[in-house]
Amino acid sequence: MATPQTIGRHAHPKAKPEQPAAAAPEPGAGIDYLRLLDDQQTATLATRINYTALTSKDTGRHGEDEQSASTHGAVLAGEEQS
């Protein structure tokens, strides 16, 4: 009858036993690269142009822009402002 193969750990009798896993590094030790990347990405996103806001007609400035353009055109034509 066949016997199943046993899978296990074995080591040379003169080998030193393994040391326990090293302790996890203290929080705050070293450079927090993920925080630096997050800060950089947040700054990049904050400086992007919001094209939707540029084309929105709900800004309330549309009438002011037309008025200033007509005043500017009158000044260029040599007419006085009233």
Higher pLDDT, 47 or 57: 47
H-type alpha helices, the chain = 33-46, 51-55, 62-76
CB 81 within 8 A of CB 74: yes
Average pLDDT over every residue of 30-49: 90
As a whole-number percent, the residues of the chain with pLDDT over 70 amount to: 60
Position of tokens 């009233």? 82
pLDDT (0 to 100) of residue 16: 85
pTM: 0.29
Would you give the DSSP letter of residue 27? T
When pLDDT is cut at 50, 70 and 90, the band that residue 42 belongs to is: very high
pLDDT digits (tens, 9 = 90+) for 13-22: 888 887 777 6
